[in-house]
């Protein structure tokens, strides 16, 4: 299974050539999103709607929110379960990951608990996570 990080999912949303190519080549392996990616993508869109200053901005922001919801609907979403919580706690205890933000740690925990490869452009952010398979489909 491949779990797309938010940066790669955003590139897929914009039909990035290399990312789309990898997605098509992975046809026998599930390509999914984590709940972290879903939340991060929707948060930005919801904030844009909430902060729209004009009617035109409101319409554009609402349209982007609808497009993002439709995009997210194309993927299975991997949620948080007890195995993810265990991995999250184990990662939190590692000294070399103390500076990792909680969202990245959760993303890594979800991938580890699911035996998945995390697909991200930010491979260096995850390089210290033991046994986490990484791929960069944008390179």
The residue segments making up the domain with residue 9 are 2-35+75-135
Q: Tell me, yes or no, whether 10 lies in a domain.
A: yes
Q: Tell me, yes or no, whether 90 lies in a domain.
A: yes
Q: How many domains does the chain fold into?
A: 1
Question: What is the spatial distance between Cα 71 and Cα 131, in angstroms, rounded to a whole number?
Answer: 30
Residue 98 confidence (pLDDT): 80
Which stretches within the chain are classed as H helix? 6-13, 17-25, 35-50, 55-72, 82-92, 102-113, 123-126
pLDDT tens digits for range 46-83: 999 999 999 999 999 999 999 999 999 999 999 999 99
Residue 28 confidence (pLDDT): 86
Percentage of the chain beyond pLDDT 90 is 83
Residue 95 confidence (pLDDT): 87
User: Is 2:113 a contact under the CB 8 Å cutoff?
Assistant: no
Q: Tell me, yes or no, whether 7 lies in a domain.
A: yes
Q: Tell me, yes or no, whether 58 lies in a domain.
A: no
Q: Tell me, yes or no, whether 30 lies in a domain.
A: yes
CATH code for position 14: 3.40.50.1010
Question: What is the spatial distance between Cα 28 and Cα 49, in angstroms, rounded to a whole number?
Answer: 37
Residue 67 confidence (pLDDT): 96
Q: In this structure, which long-range contacts are made by residues 103-107, counting pairs with CB atoms below 8 Å and at least 24 apart in sequence? A: 103/36, 103/40, 106/34, 106/36, 106/80, 107/3, 107/5, 107/34, 107/36, 107/37
Q: Tell me, yes or no, whether 15 lies in a domain.
A: yes
Q: Tell me, yes or no, whether 21 lies in a domain.
A: yes
Q: What is the pTM of this model?
A: 0.89
pLDDT tens digits for range 84-129: 999 999 998 998 888 888 899 999 999 999 999 999 998 988 989 9
Q: Tell me, yes or no, whether 46 lies in a domain.
A: no
């Amino acid at each position: 299974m491949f779990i797309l990080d938010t940066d790669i999912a955003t590139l897929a949303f914009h039909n990035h050539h290399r990312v789309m190519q990898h997605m098509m080549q992975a046809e026998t392996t599930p390509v999914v999103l984590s709940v972290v990616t879903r939340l991060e993508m929707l948060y930005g869109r919801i904030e844009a709607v909430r902060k729209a200053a004009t009617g035109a901005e409101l319409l554009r922001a609402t349209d982007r929110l609808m497009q993002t919801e439709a995009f997210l609907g194309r993927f299975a979403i991997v949620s948080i379960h007890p195995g993810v919580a265990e991995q999250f706690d184990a990662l939190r205890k590692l000294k070399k990951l103390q500076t990792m933000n909680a969202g990245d740690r959760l993303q890594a925990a979800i991938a580890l608990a699911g035996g998945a490869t995390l697909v991200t452009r930010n491979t260096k952010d995850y390089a210290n996570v033991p046994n986490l398979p990484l791929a960069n489909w944008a390179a």
